[in-house]
Structures are given as C-alpha cells and as structure tokens.
Structure 1
C-alpha cells in the first residue's frame, strides 16, 4: 500500500501566505498529522502533490528519512515520467484538508476493494484504489486541476460512509468513532480541535470524570502552543510532585494533599495533549514509571509525617502494607496487559465497572485531603490500605480467571492434561 497526499491549495482558512497543508490544529500541521497517521498504519511510501508554495512543504519534510518515511514530490500540472513507477501498488489518496487519525487510516487500509469516502453523505476527498486502476491516476495527477479530475473517481467507485465506523482503541480502553473532519473554515478547525481534545479521555475511574472538564479546558488552550510538549509537561509535573512530597515531610499534610490532587490533574495533560496531537511515542510510556515513583514517594512521605507527629510505628506499618498492595496491583495490571494485549480494566463489563471505583492515586489523595482536614490523618492510611487491598484481591482473581479462560480456549489446558498423563 502506498499513499498520495493532495497538498495543492493555499491557506483559505486564515488567508496566510502558506499552503493549506501547513495550517495547524492542536499545534500540528494538517499534513504532519496525516503523515504520522500513515506511518503508524504501516504506509511508508508517500507521494505529495504540491501546489501553492509547495517548496515550503518540501523544505520541512525533505525525503522523509528523519520521520521514518520515503517521500516523493511532484508539482501539480507538470507531467512526471517516473510517476508510473510509483503507481504500482494499491493507492490511498488523501486530500490535505482533512483532520484524520491513525485509527481511521488503519481501518481503511485493512478494508478490501475500492471506494470513495464520505462523512454523513458528504465526500471528503479520501479514495482507495486497487493496483489495477491506480495506473490510471497518471493523467489525473499530472493535471493542474487534480482535485477536479479526481471527482471522476468518486463517481466511478462505491461509496463508504466513514461516519458509521467504530474501532476499539487499546489506548483509550473503549470503542470510539475515528476522527475525520473536513476542514472548510475556521468553524471546522474549532470542531476538529474540540473533538480531538474532548475524546482524548483515557481514564475510567470516577475521579477521572471529575478531573476531565479541567483537563479538557487546559489542554484545549495549550494545544496550539507548539513549545508546550507532552514531555515538558511530564518534567514539570515530576518536579512539582517531589516538591509536594517535601511538604508532606514538613508535616503540612493538608496543603500537601490538596496540591497533590492539583498535580494529579496536571499529570493527565501530557497524555491528553499527545493524543490530541496524534503524537504518542514509545518514550511517552515511561511516564507511567515516573508516575509510580512520585506517587509511592507521596505515600511514604505521608506515613513518615504521621510517624513524626504521632511518635508511633503504626503509620509506618500501615504505609508499608499499603505500598505492598499498591505495587502488587500495578504489577498485576501490567502483566495482564502484556500477556493478553488488553487492559484488565477494560476486559469485560464487570472489569470496566470495577475500574470506576478501584484503588488508585486520585482516590488515595482524596482520603488524605478528607482526613487531614478532619484532623484524623491516620484514618487516611487505614482507608488507603483497605481500598488497595480490595483492589489487589479483585485484580488477582479476575486476572487468573481471564488468563485461565484464554488458555482453555486456545487448547493449552487440554494439552497440559495430556502431557501430565502416564504413557
């Protein structure tokens, strides 16, 4: 599979003297988002049809080697002899005036046959052609009116309404509508931006929905600021988190707990911003490890502050037990996802339901806030230990059940029984 991106038009949204392809939504240009979605879907060879100020696009992306792609360029209206060599495979054509995500591109690529994509019965300028008919594109792509020429294809191939599509997002732990928005004016830019930000909610816990309006609001307004990146947010959050830990040690538990919850809200911004921009990376996943580091540092510092203030070993014992159960919960979750390819919290309806109330950082911090304000901080440790213990039991039981069922379905249990029988 190869792809062709039509990037011929001038910016008609803001009237800037740049190609439409370089207009940004959530801090990333239209063409960069499409290129990244294609790369993530396994499409490596891409032809970009240039038009107005096309050299600006070429100078930014060059050969594509730095972004893991092999890019080719031709100017609309100029015949290219080597174009036929490119058109020797199935072809996906995408007009740059679309905001699309990787889920949609991947879904389209996997579908068989030829079609023209529509959204709510409106053509959006995305086509898929088989290898046999792709060679016919040579005449169309060499035309200075390439978009008008491609209208002939739209009338000749079946229609596919992508507005009805659903895909299961492993990252978001739910079934979603892929993003596909035709950019026609400033209003459509705002619609695309809102959809990208507001659908980026990942958490299932009830506290995630309490935090969501705040996270959405902040992400919406910082998403267009290119120098604010997910990695920089992660660094800032970790610095702030350890400052909060020092407040716990200084026995300012009420203030520290409230600030810890604020840090927890900010911690949700890096992933949400990355998802809104379509720039999820492998490096970004290490953020969860640093989350664990500062979260468990909070628990240790909170229990130490109670030990210092009450001169009793009980807070230390409770804190140690809570750390053990919390660590077990995290490891159980990670092992299950690695083995099963899907999060335990999204595996069945029951698991999703329990994930709304299970033990995790936000609820533990709420316990700290509540009982610290009531001048009974030790009870926060009791509540945290009880909640984490219940979560550990449920996670362990459900993980064993699901893994055992999967082994049985694949015939592994039956095979093991045969192995154990005497010859």
Structure 2
C-alpha cells in the first residue's frame, strides 16, 4: 500500500513542479488554498525565493498582494510594526481582507499602543512556573489518551489524539465546561475556514455559530467577573484594566485568537510529527534509539510543519523591500512556510533532521511584537506527547494519505489514518 501511495504522490509532486516552472511568474498566486490542500506549494515558493523573492500577485480572486518569501525579508517585515500594520480595520492578518462581518479586534490584529497591554494580560498563563504546573496535567491526559488507543486497527490520529489533547488543554486554560469542550474545536475550525472548505454550509450559519460562541463566553465572562480572580484566561481578562471593558466584538476577537492559537497550531504539528517520522524512517529510528533527541525534534517538527503558513500586514507608508516599491495600503504577506525552507539561512532546509545544530532557527512562531505568546506551551505539549508515545509504542504507522485542510493560512489536517501494531 505504501508503495502505491508514494508513487502516486511522487507523480503529483513532479507534475506540480513542471507546472510551477512552466508558468510565468506574473501569473503566480502562491496563496491559492488548493496548493496547500494538495501539498504542491513547494516548487512555487522555491521559484519565488530564487527568482523574485518579493513578488506582486495580480491574479488572486481576493485582491492583489505582495509575497515575501525569504527569511531575512520576512524578519524585516515582522519586526517593523511602524511600517507594516496588523490592524483588523486595515484588513487584518490573513491574505484575504477581513469581512466587516468578522472585523473582531484582537491583540494579534492590533498595533501599538493598544496591543501590548492586552497581550500582557494573558502572558502570565505562559510563565515557566505556570507551565510546570500544566506539564503535570498534560502528561496525565496524554497518558490516558494514548493508553486508550486501539491496536492493529486503523483510526484517525487527528481526531483521537491531536484534537482531543489540544481541546482538553484549551478547556483547562479557559476553565471551560469539560463536557462542552468540543465546541472549542468547532469554533476554531469555523473561525479560520474558507467558503470552499466544506466546514460550514453558508455564511449565515457560520455567523450564527460564532454568535453562539460569543454568547457562551459572555456568560462565562460575567460569572468570572463577579467572583474573586482565578488563574484561567477568562478570569485574567475580566479582572484586568486593559481588557475588562472590552466590547462584545473585541471579546470575541481575543477569544477566537486564543482558541485558534491554542488549538489549530499544536494539533496540526502533533499530526505533522507522526507524518514526518513516517516519511523519514531513518529519523524515526534515530529518535527511538535516543529519546533525548525529543528536545531538538520538537522545534524541527514545528519548522517542518509551519502550522500557520503566513501572516499578512498592510503597508502604512510607501516603502521599499527587496528592490520593489510597496505602496501605502498594499497587502504584504509573510510566507513563514517559505522562510522555513530558505537555504541561505537554514542548512538542508528541505530535509527533516531531528538533531539539527540550531533547530529553533525557524519562523513558525513569528517575530517582533506579535511573536506567539503561547509558543512554550506548544513545545511543551509536543515534547510530553512524544515522551509518552516512545514509552508505549514501537511505531505508529501511517497507512493512507493525509487529508489536508483547504487553506493557505492554517496548514493542517482533517484526517491521518494510522495503525499501531501490537
């Protein structure tokens, strides 16, 4: 079975490569979600890095945009918030402009001086002291989930492990009602889904469900506001000067940011880790022989997966980048997924190497004022899960092609069929 899958996938990749190199650069739309769903994006970004690292796309159905594809150029954009804005009112952080229906402010889609006080409110959740407490809980839950997995039977790793573990963690961070925790998964999926994703039937349905999310959290917010402060994210926000007076839209925006940030990214890297080891059996052998390599394996998986493929900014002034003139108001898309494969900065970038000398030299968490606030928690979850996996299972076999998400923002999976031999 593997041989058939591999040969079919190789043919898809070869065809994609030929198409990418035959197409004029002026016709490139590297943010087309189908390239990500089919995992055929790589030659397009390779060509852009080599031939036109700052590229203007005028063929996108959602509007013109600049692609920034090299590591150092991406770093420049990400660390110059005075030139490149994240503000939701200017379009937000995704390639597509945010619809007025979804223009919910959040601290990732804000500039200074609004951004820092809101971010600072939730950051105590991710201090080393608090992470030490969470680690005990993560290990207990990971152990329980892994111990209940079937043997010699095909199952969907995404649903049984990745979603379940990350959703349990989210429920803990929010002190969210345990039996309703899968609502968090649903709201996370709705928040980032594109119309053609098959995640929802209509915009009306999507807005209705996200309205239910707002109502649910407003109820929890009011409960926490009227009792002594506690150590969950809702209580932290409700009792802080920077966030207690948020309107309903800003509350929803920040909650969705925390849900997506705590859910999509970790769950997709958790799935990507199983896939990467199956595609690179020599690295799987290396990890089994020396479990201490988990410490460098985790950041390498985060680079390899790049769970959020891009972030977008809007130019606040006319500026120059990579020899191109970017005008005030232009969309500028930082392709982290491309920066993570930039051979000028990362040695052998297309190889999955779990004992890299500098594994944390990746872009997956972003840089500058919007660097991922929960990145240490993401690493911690992956580390603990793999420590527990290696104690229990000789191997986790991928037995079919992954089903990838239709999105150029979230680089994720809906299904990864696996089997654990007894």
TM range (shorter): under 0.3
Task: Report the TM-score when normalising by structure 1.
Answer: 0.21
Higher Rg of the two aligned structures: 1
Task: Report the TM-score when normalising by structure 2.
Answer: 0.21
Taking CA–CA contacts closer than 8 Å with sequence separation of 6 or more, which of the two structures ends up with the larger relative contact order?
Answer: 2
Q: Give the structure with the higher percent helix.
A: 1
